[in-house]
Structure 1
């Protein structure tokens, strides 16, 4: 019986369940490590994102015989130049539009309530139950819109704290660029040749997965944001820069992001001129078609190879568990886990074939 596959699977399941239970019971032991990991998580992730963005530039400079330290300094200068351009030319316009949008939220809330009230008073065929439900939705929406300025202020306050955490990112980025390629050789020196070879293949696969996702998503987001900005300016949509920047941020979230991005633009368009909401929808469809048929296939290719239904499921689960951060990091975390499992599975197949 000990050699039966079903019995081995049963014992493995019991041992895994027991391990999970024990880890849950002694989770207090891991709290200091989790606190430390949480403290460095943001600068580490931020540094890693900038690392994948700037590494091609550093390698390009090294190709022309520029020393690595000097290449890193040039990369930092390019980031500073980009930041100066954003602060000098983009941020003032976006801030002005954002302030006007926040100031208009109460008026927009009142207009929604008045429109629905007028519509209810001039119809006789809708059941009372539907009217009650509609009134409840209107009240909830109005309360949410009225509370929006306070929520936005809280978000801005959190953003200020977030900015302070940015100070550590340049330090992480510098050492990642300088010594990033030394990590794998350092770790493999403690492994035998077979394990070291497998570990190198795994890290190469993980590097390719993360690079494809980060560069791909940023390229897609910038492309969609620029297309939307041009489209919004052509139709004369109010707060066009702010709405395009919001869309650029939302498009970082795979699959769900584009749908979230268009909601505030359509709401603004409805208040400005109802027909303009149709124009906004058309612009979004055109941008998504261009992105889906031209940008994503050429930038990301099939590196992640994740089915859309899997993406939706993972995003919904991560969003309910971890909120916005879950939406943001769900797919790259899933892609990393999938890469590791796929690597281990192929290693097991090779080992099994060799043993036979």
Structure 2
């Protein structure tokens, strides 16, 4: 019988059609990905605790509800203190951006005037002027981007509130979901698929749990350190520094640029204090916090991580840098598995 008349061929075509329809449907609803991503993050954070409570005799639903109650108490306490403070800082920052912009322009004009009065060759002077203008534009862009990111969090409150609801049903029926997924795997591929799923789950779990704990610690430490040295918008800059920790190697520098730049606009002494404070926090993070919590969480060589971050940033910007490491770790698992099967 010709291959195009075999049942297996029609089965493969049907599966390919289903996969294509699902991918296209996901593309159409891509704007709803945020609550699902947040729900998965919540599942990775809370499900181990739910499993432990269930092993000790509690029902799964009761365990989830108890954990949710604890999380609600903690989050509500943080929001009651943090949200009004962050909103006030955002409003103040948005009103002071024009002032800081004029200060940057004055600074640039003074530097350009010094170069114009010096004996620097015109070609080099032009290059320096262009670099100064570029730095000015980048500085203002960083400040505006930081403000836009925080405002985006506020504007996505509905999606953020929807995530715990989705996470509840995922955790409640997690074993059922796994069982249904297992029935879709052909018997000859079952052991290999389960092995791949375990390895990928291990990498994602380490990345999500470990990095979010580091983010929380760095956010608190940075906010306190900047507040102690007297920098405005300390809480907001602490959040930015914490979120930047999701980007290995480059994250500390990205998180340090906005507060140092703002401090420079106020005084060199304040800038020095901010640099020292951030240096101390980063030393604690790099030498104590991350090694204890993360270890070698994704199993990638540092050079591989740097290349992945550069490629992700070049292709997809900030989102690419955030997702570069876990996606590269998953790709490494898939490539290693495929190579093992081919050799």
Structure 1: 5+ residue stretches without partners = 1-22
Displacement after TM superposition at 1:148 (Å): 8.2
Asked if the contact 1:106/1:145 (under 8 Å) is kept, the reply is no
Q: Deviations over 1:176-235 (max 9, x none)?
A: 211223333333345565532222222211111111001111122122222222221222
Asked if the contact 1:184/1:200 (under 8 Å) is kept, the reply is no
User: 2-side partners of 1:335 and 1:150: how far apart?
Assistant: 32
Sort the Cα spacing of 1:181 and 1:338 in 2 relative to 1 into closer, same or farther, 3 A.
Answer: farther
Aligned to 2:81: 89
Displacement after TM superposition at 1:47 (Å): 0.8
**1:27-66 pair list within 5 angstroms:** 32-36=24-28, 38-66=30-58
**Residue 266 of structure 2 is aligned to residue 296 of structure 1:** no
Sort the Cα spacing of 1:290 and 1:149 in 2 relative to 1 into closer, same or farther, 3 A.
Answer: closer
Aligned to 2:203: 209
TM-score with structure 2 length normalisation?
0.82
User: 1-side partners of 2:220 and 2:150: how far apart?
Assistant: 24
User: 2-side partners of 1:57 and 1:336: how far apart?
Assistant: 25
Aligned to 2:248: 254
Instruction: Tell me how large the CA RMSD over aligned residues is.
Output: 3.0
Asked if the contact 2:143/2:258 (under 8 Å) is kept, the reply is no
User: 2-side partners of 1:54 and 1:88: how far apart?
Assistant: 23
Sort the Cα spacing of 1:160 and 1:286 in 2 relative to 1 into closer, same or farther, 3 A.
Answer: closer
> Which residue of the other structure, out of 319, 327, 333, is the alignment partner of 1:333?
327
Displacement after TM superposition at 1:35 (Å): 2.2
Structure 2: 5+ residue stretches without partners = 1-15
Sort the Cα spacing of 1:234 and 1:171 in 2 relative to 1 into closer, same or farther, 3 A.
Answer: closer
Give 3-state SS (helix, strand or coil) of 1:238's partner: coil
Aligned to 2:220: 226
**Residue 300 of structure 2 is aligned to residue 306 of structure 1:** yes
TM-score with structure 1 length normalisation?
0.79
User: 1-side partners of 2:233 and 2:148: how far apart?
Assistant: 21
User: 2-side partners of 1:300 and 1:328: how far apart?
Assistant: 16
Give 3-state SS (helix, strand or coil) of 2:221's partner: helix
